[in-house]
Amino acid sequence: MELNRRTVIAGAAAAGMAATTLGGTAHATGGRKPVKTLFGKLADGTKVYSWSLENGGTRLKVLSWGGVVQSLEIPDRRGRYANVSAGFDNLEDYVAKTPYFGALIGRYGNRIGKGKFTLDGKNYQLSVNDGEQSLHGGAQGFDKRVWDVEPFTQGSDVGLHLYYTSVDGEMGYPGTLKAKVTYTLTRHGDWRIDYEATTDKATVVNLTSHVYWNLGGEGSGTIEDHELRIAGSRYTPTDAGLIPTGELAKVAGTPFDFTRAKPIGRDIRTSHPQLVTAKGFDHNWVLDKGITARPEHVATLRDPSSGRTLKIATNEPGLQFYSGNFLDGTLTGPSGRTYRQGDALCLETQHFPDSPNKPSFPSTVLRPGQTYRTTTIHTFGC
């Protein structure tokens, strides 16, 4: 029988087991004030800091560079901790090599076709950085900016407020956008992300988080044995440039059907044209719940070997599932092991890709006087 994670943590604490790093033993923790340490310096001398948070049995390290989640540690069914997010142990690799490991993404998560869109009759050309497309905000998106970080403790919660102001015209986007993202670790060990943004000119915005998950532990190998369920009965097929065609296709009878939990590797190597084009899963699921006032449960990921689970709740209408198709063995994580294709996966809550060019998709337009708000909650179990 699978144990409740809180029972595992409480039991470890009662036994007096001490917590350690990877491979260590879990213990119950209360919220502590986040700890700041120097992580490195950019070429221009700008200092980048690491913030360490711990609460409810979850440990989180966040960088001021890109709002990156550098590590996230949770226990398995036997109370043993592991970092379940891919990344690096040094700033230089984040700057020069990262495929968005753990980063905050903006102004626009995912792709915009040919880096162009029209808003209120005016044409905009964005930074193009993925073939002909603009990906994740362009060549110098929010993932490559130093954020201002303000730690907080509130009741039994601990967290960080992250701030970044994107000036009018940055990466081709209109309007000065003031973004605030809050990372919170709750007393139950949930990791909550609250996104906010305002603008002084009509613009488009679609913020998300790009954590690469492996619930078996960073560097432990393939995620194809992970079991995934997505509460989405449709998805958005793409063209050769991974831009949605505009169709909302049914998942029933296709490899894209995750309405019931199944191993990721079960259908990933079939000859379905969409899997061939993307070299695996790299698609947006249309969540059955649509846009909601409050976060609702939309996905569950489980590693049968460790027993670790991740449940995701959001008020967003879409979820991008990316199966790590372009990891090619050239990147090395903190474990000293290389990341190969399928060694980690992403579950990015979002509005749909290329929405500014697809009037039938939910709108991503933000206007002066409005506040962009969205929330995603990650709940861990074992």
Examine the residue annotation and report whether 283 is marked as an active-site residue of this protein. no
Question: 73, 224, 227, 348: which is the annotated catalytic residue?
Answer: 348
Cβ atoms 90, 96 nearer than 8 A? no
The two beta strands, 249-250 and 296-302, are: unpaired
Amino acid sitting at position 201: K
Work out the burial of residue 354: count CB atoms within 10 Å of its CB; fewer than 13 is exposed, 13-18 middle, 19 or more buried.
Answer: buried
| E strand spans, 206-329 | 208-210, 227-230, 234-236, 249-250, 262-263, 282-286, 296-302, 309-314, 318-322
Q: Which residues contact 90 (CB under 8 A, 6 or more apart)?
A: 40
H/E stretch holding 273 reads: helix 273-278
CA-CA distance, 318 to 299, in Å (whole number)?
Answer: 11
CA-CA distance, 295 to 312, in Å (whole number)?
Answer: 9
Q: DSSP class of residue 299? A: E
Q: What number of H helices and E strands is found in the chain?
A: 3, 29
The partner residues of 319 in beta bridges, in order of sequence, read 285, 349
Tell me if the bond preceding 107 is cis, omega within 30° of 0.
Answer: yes
Q: DSSP class of residue 213? A: B
Question: 27, 73, 170, 210: which is the annotated catalytic residue?
Answer: 210
Q: Of 226, 229, 190, which is closest to residue 379 (Cα–Cα)?
A: 190
CA-CA distance, 288 to 164, in Å (whole number)?
Answer: 32
Residue with tokens 């201002």: 148
Examine the residue annotation and report whether 348 is marked as an active-site residue of this protein. yes
Residues noted as catalytic: 210, 348
